Structure 1
């Protein structure tokens, strides 16, 4: 016990002697080294964000062209279902939330998540049943919704829309939804609606199921076989999903470009602040050294 105490006392005394022997500007030099390393790190981050901004700008132009073509599918769907309104109110709604698997793109995932939560809370429209199923495209919104509406989540999709979404992707999603045997009266597709290159908002595509189309007055006026109505319902669902995917992809690229632009500007401001702080510390260290040299020369 005494041996351990004496060893601890010896180590403490040695530490005090080293601290007394250290030069007075050692703390400043350590701070300057830390500032230099931080400056280097921020400059590397600025290079990455600028590169990501350029890549997102290039992808945004392609995504906008694909969106203009894909929106025609959604407009055609809207035109069809404008004439299929029924008097009875749909009871069970299926929510399809369209997001993506990637981050670093602002609040596009929170936008559709909040819109879905508002729909369940009944703030924007008539509140659905508590048992209304939710299907999510994209891992980001899946993680957000699983915390509050995890009991309603029945199906999730990922690895869709890594590049520009295609109609084949939408058909694959629609086919899995139809084969999942989830019961619903109407489908609400929650997606990000492209407003401009700087803004977006949550939108909803409404698609009826096969029974809703059969009972619609606009369709009852025509004699159609059952298979025609079934195929039309499935094709309309794929159309709406495709329109939501391409528009959401354009919003993602636009938001990522804006986010990387803001990150680059913030990195530039931080570099300026750190450079000023580094130069001041460096000048102070040089001044202290000159004072020591002059004081020593005067003493001699």
Structure 2
């Protein structure tokens, strides 16, 4: 009886611990399993978005090759007109071009940083923003410098008609400017881009250029040329920026898919370890319940005999 009474408290103290470990193990397994399911869903989504971005990039590259012809015409015009360098009193309008859509890495931040740098260098300049993403970023510190903003940009491949409409809005509502400097992401390759500045001058500067003075010009011809040049430049910037965005989105989705695959491997390993620990705990509980009472009784009996022989209480 003494031995049994000595053993019972030990058993009562041991059994709840095993139960708590098992309960915790079950909760951990369920939590890991739910997280594993979520990461697998993310992997599927990023894989699908990567395929879509790859398809759109192929179309965007074809459109960009056509748009570069417009850019080449502008380059020849300003090169042969021999326009003088800007003076310090020239009114400058920056046009920051990006899009409304996210999940494409730092494509919008690169345009925003280049625009902020340009505005800091020329505090009197103002800015027109194309795209909700750069608008939100620039609005944190440069809201007062906004002249006009545009949205619904980047949903599909830009067209020259859209570029001409934007140029007309800038001319109508943006005021008169000596120089328009377009900041956009120049497409370099399928994995790289860089913010670039494209300069377009107004009709007055064209009239005063040496290349134009050599010929007789009608009154409105240079105005039409300046407006058409702005539309050309905007079209090139929009199309190149769109191609750069699709490239960045494909890269971002590829990185997301790779990270998700790595996380799935780690979670599978963690899940297997937790499940093995749970099984081991259950086996220990079974062995403990079936074998420990007898051993504890023998141990208690030995302790009791030792106390009797030594004369201790």
TM-score normalised to structure 1 length: 0.88
2:235 paired with 1:242:
yes
**Alpha-carbon separation, structure 1, partners of 2:156 and 2:54:** 14
Within the candidate set 136, 148, 159, 2:129 is matched to 136
Within the candidate set 251, 255, 271, 2:264 is matched to 271
2:289 paired with 1:289:
no
- State the secondary structure of the residue aligned to 1:135: strand
**Alpha-carbon separation, structure 1, partners of 2:66 and 2:148:** 28
Structure 1 segment 1-300 matched on structure 2, within 5 A: 23-84=20-81, 85-86=83-84, 89=87, 91-122=90-121, 128=122, 130-298=123-291, 299=293
Tell me if the contact between 1:136 and 1:157 (Cα under 8 Å) persists in the aligned partners.
yes
**Structure 1 residues 114 and 45, CA, compared in 2 at 3 Å: closer, same or farther?**
same
**Structure 1 residues 194 and 88, CA, compared in 2 at 3 Å: closer, same or farther?**
closer
Per-residue deviation, 1:176:
0.5
**Structure 1 residues 24 and 106, CA, compared in 2 at 3 Å: closer, same or farther?**
closer
- Unaligned 5+ runs, structure 1: 1-18, 123-127
Tell me if the contact between 2:96 and 2:182 (Cα under 8 Å) persists in the aligned partners.
yes
Number of residue pairs matched?
A: 276
C-alpha distance after superposition, 1:194-251 (max 9, x if no partner): 1110100011111001111111111111111121111111111000000000000000
C-alpha distance after superposition, 1:101-140 (max 9, x if no partner): 0000011101111111121233xxxxx2x23110011000
* RMSD across aligned positions (CA): 1.6
Which stretch shows the higher mean deviation, 198-207 or 289-298? 289-298
Per-residue deviation, 1:296:
2.0
Tell me if the contact between 1:160 and 1:169 (Cα under 8 Å) persists in the aligned partners.
no
**Alpha-carbon separation, structure 2, partners of 1:116 and 1:283:** 56
Larger radius of gyration: 2
**Alpha-carbon separation, structure 2, partners of 1:180 and 1:262:** 42
**Alpha-carbon separation, structure 1, partners of 2:159 and 2:174:** 24
TM-score normalised to structure 2 length: 0.85
C-alpha distance after superposition, 1:146-193 (max 9, x if no partner): 112211111110112311100111011011011115121101000100
